[in-house]
Structure 1
């Protein structure tokens, strides 16, 4: 007998397996089409044969060796505990595709304006069409533009009544739009048209912080009248007709046509008590999975996310399973979803690109969370909260790994996505991944449950390309101890500081990464993110932000062309920021308490240090070795060394395999510049200090969707309105306020009437009455 030792959190499990597992194994050779001698036709049939073998030899390892070709499935390929100890791999080359699509044979005839049509009867809906294995464009307005920043083209009039009146049968069309504050996106299905040519819709549940659609960044698709450009298509299900406008030189008579069918290509499903063990996929391409944006509706605690719990490969209830050297491309939803109970899952050496949703997700079950809450504004009285330490059960990923993966151009449909997403998980290793060209974060941690992650040696850039108020690395920490109302949060954090580590039970290590975000922060620890060790990272552009939270130790990082952004810390936060190289003065917002140590950092020469810390700070040129080549180690004699800074390697970020390194892009390196103190525009209004919203930090701190309004810096005693620092004034009486100038003008004409004012506070609108 042979014993395998699995280490779970606080538990050691011994699995005793027959010695035959390690002395015997069998290979089944599989064909994608009709069988030939020595081969089984189809993967499902091969799995059935393996089950028959295991009836006489229980637990015997079986390898399915796939011959080159494309494997189309009659249903999602399901592996259960009976399929444990199965390897599915190529037969020596990588020309194997397991498809979530359905090949169709159609006869095209010219319709009009270069558009062809064909009869097609299928008993399922589909959102993706592939011609000669290239994804085509569902008929849309505005037309697809590869250079457009948002959704490859948006227009404010996409659903205007004037445009709607040009459509004969828009039911079944879709509206895609950014969130009003650019925190992800929304998707709606058109269900009808009103008499005034406005649309009836269903959907909009794809974001967990409802604010409605963005006014500008929206488009429509799946409308026949919008089929007017090469590569566009439309399927009229009621008349079983497929329309398509081919590009020049495409021979439709010989073109291969595939439509998407299955949202999950493969599902490996067991339970915590009876997991699927030791299933491996190696060297396979997974493509053509159906889009899932209308099924993305499960909220992830109090983060901004909803998710679809599935992907091209879904792993749930597994132990020791792996996905190695596989490619995931042009799938409509997530690539890999590691759901609920999983132990020792390994996803490595994969190329994940051009997908509709996330790259890799590790997401546990809310039933493992004590006193879970699901929407940002929800809270629970402390007396009704389960205050016990750690998870409630084991229904979450633990001790899993995503390493050496190239992930790019994900989130092509859904915008609240990430290259790698962690939620309700523990001890996840995210290492040596290269992630770029994504609409939101490259790596996202949705909340503190339950920490212990090791996030290191990643190369993450070209992030937050279509959204806002986010980072290349982003996290939230809206755990049991956190309240959306800041006054209540301060009170509870002071009364029960031990609660912070009841969910974030182990520190998360963020180290030896290279991050770049040109539309947010390189590292963004938002809303209560706690228990982090952040060291030896290079931030190429966006700086580092710590909002709220406790127990963050940030040391030995390099922040180029930016600085440190501390936002609204608590008393006794025990935060530390030391031995770092920054490129300008700190950018604090709402700071009254400064943690345990903010000191021993290197600033540019001539920096005015305005914060009440850094008594031992130094100023001067850090003397980088070769900044133009991306080597930010410092030379002997650098003043950074006198602060305690230590050099760390600059040549090991991102993927390590030669094949993926040859494909991976490199981040744009910054031209270094000395940052000056941001010029303020603060003015006095009846003794209060107010200013325009000028920076991303001010907008983020207030939670505003844009820069409109007037930011309140400070308020004197006996002020006529019960304003607080951090409020944003949006209206006086019935007149809008967009900036300081309009506020002063409006108030000058309305002051005798003592008007009420409308403000934005704690992520919501409030009305304040005149009190003096």
Structure 2
């Protein structure tokens, strides 16, 4: 009897449980008139979404079988549709489903001329991204695409000169792209016609919140029919509805799969004000073919250098407890994942983002969450008008979210003011175990001090600031509500009212146990007012660490390989400290009168560096000498037991936990380049001869060499041998030239030159003064 009763209860429970759970299936071979079961699946995502509306209070899973699904419109998940207990949208089992924001074209290719083919397209076609057999092709451009070119894959100063413009019959709809004149990101303009003088009429340039003319050199044009002249290029005549394409030699165009972009966003998860959507997971889906968004990137983010487009392949607003796991974002045209406004407790884990046109993952709050906001660098709010209540004004911002174990690389393909992970107007964002590399600007960027509390740990961020300059692998700004570009005002207001400093940056941001490398700037760059940071146990591989303005930064137990500490333009009573760090070149201060709270117990490279620091009133207990890393060639920068770093309180930390740890992604991720060390241990062991930019150089030594080269003293570095590809040779220097200064800094010996280069190479161009045949000469050394 008991067994029968137990069996009846079990049957009833199973029936009730199955009714509380719904599983729907979608297949490219399905039918939207079917039941949506595993044996009779739906055919389209839209049909499956309709079923969600009928499943209030139940747990719903939508499984996509292997294949590509072309959306008829972006999927909108809001309270009108989602009333479920939970919702999972996922690829089925070990299969991979591709969600396309584009469409598959039926073509009828015919030869046009000069190797170009043409086909008619549908009347509603207006795409700007074109794929052949899954590979993104090149929108007709000048100069032609060059995979090896550092900026925009090819630029030219004559991209919009009068001679070239006269060749274009109807450039309306074309684009002019270029870097900001300060190389602070990119600018983009749409051509709207010619003016009465025959010059281009342009609209745009709003993609950077620090207005600027186009860079004179780094610019290119695209979407111009007359520039269709190279294999892989294409052009869409939107008026005649004709698609032109120049295929590669020996390609089977007639048998190729042709896909084009259509929508910017693929899935939007949007709750209501005060009624967030929750308990939704997007798992193991791949996103493709999203349209570009650079002309919509125009909303200023307070006084950071950024403007933004609030959209992406996945867009979240007013949500909580949402999970984005194991997804792929492949060559999407804009942002991959955008969390806008209120988002709490969301997890973004194990995703692979490659080739995004803009940023990888963005956490961006609404500006109405900030008290006394300003929106341009030069703006400021007088003290009397400031809202002096600490913290946010509303909850319209991301908070307590996590981005972990994501692999993000080769992003910012068109939008150069972008980042692997972007944080603005957000609180307590955890960014950990991510691998981020090959970015045009920062790998991780924080745009303001509102509202701090972030933890950045165990990330591997390298090959950054590849196309721009004056930035960091990690970059931040802190132009908060009290901040002003007037130094005199800032010194006054923060002295009288130090409580203003933490009104927005009211929680400490922690940067620990990361590995950073920047190519044209600093590995860690805390710019313009960035305050309330704790930075420790980081390996900086190339650019060192910069602290500009700002307050209450504690920098401790970091390793700055081949570089140093860059304090810039500090305020009075900054309360900054720099303790127990390893630096390998002299400090590089700029306009520092007040050296903060405590700069001491550091390991410096040589006696001169230490004496210079102590003369400025810092580093009373610091030492100089050899670091003695265990195995720097393989990236192990722990120090041996006899290292002098241990004498100043430095403590070893783990070197094997940087970057993505999920095995599948870890196998795919690359590692940074570990540089050869430039290290001086004592006066009598300083390097005198060495290789520099494919040239052999030697320190001037003694009266004999001074006389031989006609020098006024025994200082300088002589060029002994120049390789054919040496940048020194390209700058016009010759063997037996003696380098006397670089970047307006005296070069007394080879170690000086190496140190200056490490500190200043991010600038891209260095002035070099030499003596040749007893006569002074000045050249520009281009490092681009």
TM-score (structure 1 length as normaliser): 0.85
2:503 alignment partner, SS class: helix
1:642 to 644, 647, 651: 647
Mapped to 1, the partners of 2:95 and 2:627 lie a distance apart of 47
What CA deviation, in whole Å up to 9, does each residue of 1:229-285 have, x standing for no partner? 111000001111000011122212121111100100110011341111111111110
Residue 188 of structure 1, CA deviation: 0.4
**Residue 55 of structure 2 corresponds to which residue in structure 1?**
53
1:155-174 to 2 correspondences below 5 Å: 155-174=156-175
- How far apart are 1:72 and its partner, in Å? 0.8
Partner residue of 2:77 out of 76, 79, 82:
79
Distance 1:181 1:385 in 2: 31
Number of the residue aligned with 2:325: 324
1:400-432 per-position Cα deviation (integer Å, ceiling 9, x unaligned): 011000100100000000000000000000000
TM alignment of 1:193-212, pairs within 5 A: 193-212=194-213
Q: Does the aligned pair in 1 maintain the 2:65–2:95 contact within 8 Å?
A: no
Preserved CA contact (<8 Å) 1:182 1:705: no
The partner residue of 1:31 within 4, 24, 27 is 27
Structure label with greater radius of gyration: 2
**1:41 counterpart residue number:** 43
| 3-state DSSP of counterpart to 2:53 | helix
Query: Using the alignment, how far apart are the partners of 2:255 and 2:18 within structure 1?
Result: 49
Tell me how far apart the structure 2 counterparts of residues 190 and 486 of structure 1 sit (CA, whole Å): 40
Match of 2:421 in 1: 420
In the alignment, is the contact (CA less than 8 A) between 2:446 and 2:477 conserved in 1? Answer: yes
In the alignment, is residue 655 of structure 1 matched against residue 656 of structure 2? Answer: no
After TM superposition, give the deviation of residue 606 of structure 1 in Å.
3.2
Q: CA deviation at 1:680?
A: 7.8
Specify whether residues 110 and 79 from structure 1 end up closer, same or farther in structure 2 by C-alpha distance, changes over 3 A only: same
Deviates more, 1:445-454 or 1:73-82: 73-82
Q: 1:619 aligns with which of 618, 621, 624?
A: 624
Q: What value does the CA root-mean-square deviation take over the aligned residues?
A: 2.4
CA apart distance, 1:92: 1.1
How far 1:607 sits from its partner (Å)? 3.7
Q: 2 CA distance for matches of 1:342 and 1:70? A: 30
* Deviation readout 1:609-631 (Å, 9 max, x if unpaired): 21320000011112111111111
1:439-518 correspondence runs (5 A): 439-518=440-519
Stretch moving more, 315-324 or 270-279 = 270-279
Q: Is the CA contact (8 Å cut-off) linking 2:449 and 2:478 kept in structure 1? A: yes
Provide structure 1 residue ranges, at least 5 long, that are not aligned to the other structure: 1-19, 684-693, 709-739, 743-772
Matched, 1:588 2:593: no
The within-5 A match list for 1:568-583 is: 568-583=569-584
- 5+ unaligned residues in a row in structure 2: which ranges? 1-15, 681-685, 687-715, 717-739, 746-755, 768-776, 780-784
Query: Aligned with 2:583: secondary structure?
Result: coil
Supply the distance in 1 between the matched residues of 2:424 and 2:367 (Cα, whole angstroms): 10
Q: What whole-Å deviation, never above 9, does each CA across 1:45-100 have from its counterpart, x for those lacking one?
A: 1121122132xxxx211000111111111111000134252100111124210011
- 1:629 match: 634
| Residues 436 and 442, structure 1, Cα contact 8 Å, conserved in 2 | yes
The DSSP-based 3-state class of the residue aligned with 2:464 is coil
Contact 1:190 1:202 in 2 (8 A): yes
Q: What's the secondary structure of 1:441's corresponding residue?
A: coil
SS in 1 for 2:495: helix
Displacement of 1:681 after TM fit?
A: 7.9
- Asked whether the 8 Å contact 1:99–1:286 carries over to 2, the reply is yes
Secondary structure at the counterpart of residue 55 of structure 2:
helix
Residues 406 and 660 in structure 1, CA contact (< 8 A), matched pair in contact too: yes
SS of 2:318's partner is: strand
Query: Which residue in the other structure is 1:63 paired with?
Result: 61
Please state how far the C-alpha of 1:706 moved relative to its aligned partner: 8.2
Post-superposition Cα deviations, 1:586-619, rounded to whole Å, max 9, x if no partner, equal: 1000000011110000112434321320000011
Partner of 1:13: none
CA 1:191 to 1:258, structure 2 compared with 1: closer, same or farther past 3 Å? same
1:266 and 1:21 map into 2 onto residues whose CA distance is: 29
Q: Offset at 1:125? A: 2.1
Q: Which residue of 2 aligns with 1:729?
A: none
**In the alignment, is the contact (CA less than 8 A) between 2:125 and 2:238 conserved in 1?**
no
| Residues 381 and 482, structure 2, Cα contact 8 Å, conserved in 1 | no
Pair 1:672–1:568, CA change in 2 (3 A): same
CA 1:49–1:646: 2 relative to 1, 3 Å: same
- TM-score normalized with structure 2 length: 0.84
Deviates most, 199-208 or 621-630 = 621-630
Taking a change above 3 Å as real, the CA distance of residues 391 and 681 of structure 1, as seen in their structure-2 partners, is closer
Separation in 2 of the partners of 1:294 and 1:388?
36
Q: Distance in 1 between matches of 2:168 and 2:146?
A: 22
Query: Would the alpha carbon gap of residues 495 and 741 (structure 1) be closer, same or farther in structure 2, given more than 3 Å must change?
Result: farther
What secondary structure does 1:252 align onto? coil
Q: Deviations over 1:4-45 (max 9, x none)?
A: xxxxxxxxxxxxxxxx89994221111235426421222221
Shifted more, 65-74 versus 674-683: the winner is 674-683
Shifted more, 24-33 versus 654-663: the winner is 24-33
* 1:713 matched residue in structure 2: none
Q: Is 1:392 paired with 2:393?
A: yes
Residues in 2 aligned to 1:404 and 1:419: alpha-carbon distance in whole angstroms: 13
Q: C-alpha displacement at 1:741, in angstroms?
A: 10
- 1:180, 1:705 within 8 Å by CA — same for their partners in 2? no
Q: Which secondary structure state, in structure 1, belongs to the residue aligned with residue 274 of structure 2?
A: coil
Does structure 2 conserve the Cα–Cα contact (< 8 Å) formed by 1:181 and 1:705? no
Q: Which runs of structure 2 are paired with 1:395-406 in the superposition (5 Å)?
A: 395-406=396-407
CA distance in 2, matches of 1:433, 1:682: 39
Q: Secondary structure of the equivalent of 1:367?
A: helix
Q: Residues of 2 paired with 1:71 and 1:112: CA distance?
A: 35
C-alpha separation between the residues in 1 aligned to 2:188 and 2:155?
Answer: 14
User: Within 5 Å, which residues of 2 pair with 1:499-578?
Assistant: 499-578=500-579
Q: How do residues 59-208 of structure 1 correspond to structure 2 at under 5 angstroms?
A: 59-81=57-79, 82-83=81-82, 84=84, 85-208=86-209
Partner residue in 1 for 2:705: none
- For 1:244, the equivalent position in structure 2 comes to 245
Q: Distance in 2 between matches of 1:415 and 1:630?
A: 29
Q: Give the CA deviation at 1:570.
A: 1.3
1:306 match: 307
1:674 aligned residue (650, 674, 679): 679
Superposition deviation, residue 705 in structure 1: 11
In 1, Cα distance between equivalents of 2:373 and 2:766: 33
- 139 and 682 in structure 1: CA distance in 2 versus 1, 3 angstrom threshold: closer
Separation in 2 of the partners of 1:552 and 1:199?
48
Question: Alpha carbons of 1:467 and 1:269: their partners in 2 closer, same or farther (altered >3 Å)?
Answer: same
Is contact 2:322-2:345 (8 Å) kept?
yes
**1:233-312 map, 5 Å:** 233-312=234-313
Per-residue CA deviation, residues 423-444 of structure 1 (Å, 9 max, x unaligned), is 0000000000001110000000
After superposition, the C-alpha distances for 1:442-471 in whole angstroms (9 at most, x for unaligned) are 000000000000000000000000000001
CA separation of 1:696 and 1:633: change in aligned 2, threshold 3 A: closer
Distance, in Å, in 2 between the alignment partners of 1:705 and 1:204 is 24
Larger displacement relative to structure 2 (653-662 or 607-616): 607-616
